[in-house]
Amino acid sequence: MKKSKVVARFTLDFVHKKIVGTQTSFDLASKGSGPVYEELMKLVKNHPDFKFKIKELTQRSDKPKETYKGFNVEFIKDYFSARDELDGTNKRAEIDATIEYAESMKFSRLLEAKKTLYSIYDSEDAPFSFKEAEKVVRDYRIRHLKNDDGASGSEKEPEADKPDDTEPAIAEYPSVVNV
């Protein structure tokens, strides 16, 4: 027979003589039956002069929530390319092979790419940081954007053929007759 783990939903504040619990715990106890109700009644029976207090749940504001907006396959490819340039390695081929394998096996490309990224660039002594990776990728993309602009600026593209004066400027279409 399985033993269920007892969870303490209420705490006792002996200094202020209060039974402290969350709003959810008090809501569950208000049903009039069940393990939460029995736990509260046991506390009330043992401490009849205690008052009830709803525990205020606070969010940790000292550490902002880290978001991973933009953490997609293209980001991971660019991160590998940027690290290859910085480190002088060729790990971009590995991520390309992983993505190709995931596509052939009909796995999630993003999930497989993340696994590869973390297996290579995440360790206990140097954990992977998304904020640092964003900076690396942003710098990489800016460098390559400038390189692409510089290459196209030196070579002039051939001018498009100018239309002859004999061709009409607006295409003529047969008129549509409403029936």
DSSP string computed for 25-83: HHHHHTTS-SHHHHHHHHHHHH-TTPEEEEPPP----SSPPP--TT-SHHHHHHHHHHH
pTM higher than 0.85: no
Largest CA distance in the chain: 103
Hey, CA dihedral for 83, 84, 88, 94, is it positive or negative? positive
Residue 150: the pLDDT is 57
Q: How far apart are CA 72 and CA 111, in angstroms?
A: 9
pLDDT < 50 stretches in the chain:
152-160
Residue 153: the pLDDT is 43
Q: How far apart are CA 22 and CA 36, in angstroms?
A: 12
Give the type of residue at 7: V
Q: How far apart are CA 143 and CA 82, in angstroms?
A: 10
Mean pLDDT of the residues in the chain: 82
Residue 33: the pLDDT is 82
